């Protein structure tokens, strides 16, 4: 139950900050760069998992 409450409280805060603090153009650039970073991080994690599987198995 605590996790659900945290998600409910965290979710509305993020869009409010983005909409209020920066113009739409900047928000798009930031979200794109964040998406690239997140996708890169996930790619690295996937590669590490595959390496661990091949090394361990």
What is the dihedral sign for C-alpha 17, 11, 38, 28? Answer: negative
Report pTM. Answer: 0.32
Q: List pLDDT tens digits, range 3-39.
A: 655 555 554 455 554 555 555 655 566 678 888 888 8
The whole-angstrom separation of Cα 11 and Cα 35 is 17
Q: Where are the domains of the chain?
A: 23-57
Return the structure tokens found at 17: 């900050």
Comparing 10 with 47, which gets the higher pLDDT? Answer: 47
């Amino acid at each position: 139950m605590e996790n659900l409450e945290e998600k409910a409280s965290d979710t509305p805060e993020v869009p409010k900050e983005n909409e209020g603090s920066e113009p739409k153009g900047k928000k798009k650039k930031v979200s794109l760069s964040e998406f690239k970073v997140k996708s890169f991080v996930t790619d690295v994690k996937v590669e590490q998992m595959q390496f661990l599987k091949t090394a361990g198995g």
